[in-house]
């Protein structure tokens, strides 16, 4: 399968992709993921930010003293990342910024990293062989007991976004589209310029998939929790009453592992994250 449509999709956003985690819905994801990083990342870790695009997480990690390598499919987003890394003054902590496919990490030897952050690739890998290759390669480049933060999208998030977009609703009457999505998790969009070539996984399949490839669950989290549809309301609360906002965020963080939140979804995005460790030590995070 050609991955050029995926590259084209993200490159049309450019700087907006860098800004995404500052938007109301992105801020929720950012806070919950930050908390997971803070609780699980080992000191002095060497980290591969796989599919990290314009480098938002790479810079956040580098600012906290981690050694980071940024890898992505998009040359343009990596150009933005190089500029941002320079702007934020974290050059010394960022070891490499490289154009790499998540299914082929031969650039690095076995056990090269303590941690792999993979918050994008899996929900674009529509073929089983690709998902297997990515999981195996991540396992290979991790040191024994290394930590993986992996994000997945729910089938329901693709269904919900299709309903939300008027010029995509015709897909809901297409038997082939619906069968592929609901039975195979494959989302193929023919509307130009929109999210395409997606793969959705039911929450109860995430851990078994990772276990099949040598991982063990540590934690399974929703990265938007129960408030995904009210991200704008939460942003307004931050301006109106900071104390109330901070308390609400703490509830979101504490409830992120609640099984009732897994599979909930941000309207046009993902909403469950999985954080995992390899070699019988896993932490998983899901996006619905």
* pLDDT for res 271: 32
Cα separation values, 87 from 55, 82, 84, 91, Å:
12, 9, 5, 9
Q: What is the pLDDT of residues 42-91, one digit of tens each?
A: 999 999 999 999 999 999 999 999 999 999 999 999 999 999 999 999 99
Does residue 131 lie within any of the structural domains? yes
Residue 230 lies in a domain: yes
pTM above 0.85, yes or no: yes
288 in any annotated domain: no
Let me know if residue 219 belongs to a domain.
yes
Per-residue model confidence (pLDDT) at position 209: 92
Predicted confidence at residue 110, as pLDDT, reads 96
Residue 130 pLDDT: 96
Residue 149 structural domain: 4-278
CATH, residue 217:
3.40.50.150
**In-domain check, residue 286:** no
Q: How many domains does the chain have?
A: 1
Determine, yes or no, domain membership for 287: no
CA–CA separation, 136 vs 124, rounded Å?
16
Q: Residue 222 falls within a domain, yes or no? A: yes
pLDDT score at 264:
64
> What is the residue-wise DSSP string for 55-84?
-HHHHHHHHTT-EEEEEES-HHHHHHHHHH
Residue 285 lies in a domain: no
Residues in the chain with pLDDT values less than 50: 265-276, 278-288
């Amino acid at each position: 399968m050609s991955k050029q449509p995926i590259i084209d999709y993200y490159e049309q956003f450019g700087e907006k992709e860098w800004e995404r985690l500052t938007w109301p819905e992105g801020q929720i994801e950012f806070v919950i993921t930050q908390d997971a990083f803070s609780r699980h990342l080992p000191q002095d870790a060497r980290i591969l930010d796989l599919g990290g695009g314009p480098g938002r997480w790479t810079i956040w990690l580098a600012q906290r003293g981690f050694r980071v390598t940024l890898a992505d499919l998009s040359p343009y987003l990596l150009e933005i990342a190089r500029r941002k890394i320079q702007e934020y003054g974290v050059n010394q902590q960022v070891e490499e910024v490289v154009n790499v496919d998540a299914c082929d990490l031969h650039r690095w030897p076995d056990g090269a990293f303590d941690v792999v952050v993979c918050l994008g690739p899996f929900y674009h890998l529509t073929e089983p062989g690709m998902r297997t290759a990515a999981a195996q390669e991540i396992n290979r480049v991790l040191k024994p007991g290394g930590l993986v933060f992996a994000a997945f999208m729910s089938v329901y998030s693709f269904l919900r976004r299709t309903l939300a977009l008027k010029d995509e609703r015709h897909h809901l009457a297409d038997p082939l589209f619906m069968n592929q999505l609901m039975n195979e998790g494959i989302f193929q969009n023919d509307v130009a310029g929109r999210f395409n070539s997606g793969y959705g996984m039911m929450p109860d399949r995430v851990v078994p998939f990772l276990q099949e490839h040598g991982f063990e669950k540590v934690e399974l989290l929703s990265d938007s929790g129960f408030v995904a549809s009210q991200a704008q309301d939460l942003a307004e609360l931050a301006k109106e009453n900071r104390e109330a906002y901070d308390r609400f965020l703490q509830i979101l963080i504490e409830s992120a592992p609640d099984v009732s939140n897994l599979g909930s979804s941000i309207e046009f995005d993902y909403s469950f994250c999985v954080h995992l460790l390899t070699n019988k030590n896993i932490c998983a995070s899901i996006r619905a």
